[in-house]
Homo-oligomer: A and B are copies of this chain.
Amino acid sequence: MTRKPKCQTHEEVMFYDTDAGGVVHNIAYLRFVEKARTLLGSKLGLSLKEMSQSGLYAVVTRTEIDYIKPAVLGDRLTIEGRLEDVGRVRFSCAFEIYRDSDKAKMVTSRQELAMVQMPEGRPARLPVHFKKYRAS
């Protein structure tokens, strides 16, 4: 089995990421995860450009997010993503968000994805090159 791709993105918490509770809002963490997954996807041959050209899109079928510690305005965060499990028609990615100042784990997330041929919206198999990431 080939080593599974990983990715790393960085965010600085902006006002628009926070809410009146003084902490980063749930919705902002999902945006951070979406950006990290996009980068991870490009390492899997699923870049935005490639998908919009082929019409073969990886669509998220499930998201899980655990909020462990609250990030605040001005925090610098690192989002680490990795390909997790690979099946025939689905795969999953795992994400962890750390605070740069003390490496505290703030959030973990997991997403399941399936391939869909657009614009028909027809389910499709994973591209053949995913085979190398499958546990034998």
Besides A26-B60, A59-B70, A62-B64, 17 other A-B contacts (C-beta < 8 A): A14-B38, A14-B48, A15-B19, A15-B20, A16-B25, A16-B26, A16-B31, A18-B19, A18-B20, A27-B30, A30-B30, A48-B74, A49-B74, A59-B67, A61-B66, A62-B67, A63-B64
CA distance A14 to B63 in the complex (A): 18
Instruction: Tell me if A121 is interfacial: C-beta within 8 Å of chain B.
Output: yes
> Quick one: CB contact mask for A69-106 with B, threshold 8 Å, 1 for yes?
01011100000000000000000000000000000000
Is the CB of A8 closer than 8 A to any CB of chain B?
Answer: no
Q: Which residues of B contact A63 (CB under 8 A)?
A: 26, 63-65, 67
Contact size class for A?
35 or more
- Tell me the interface secondary structure of chain A in the complex: mixed
Contact A21 B57 (CB under 8 A): yes
Most B CB within 10 A of own CB, among A35, A47, A72, A74: A74
Contact pattern, A 27-66, Cβ under 8 Å of B = 1, otherwise 0: 1001100110010000000011100100001011111111
C-alpha gap A66/B111 in the complex (Å): 10
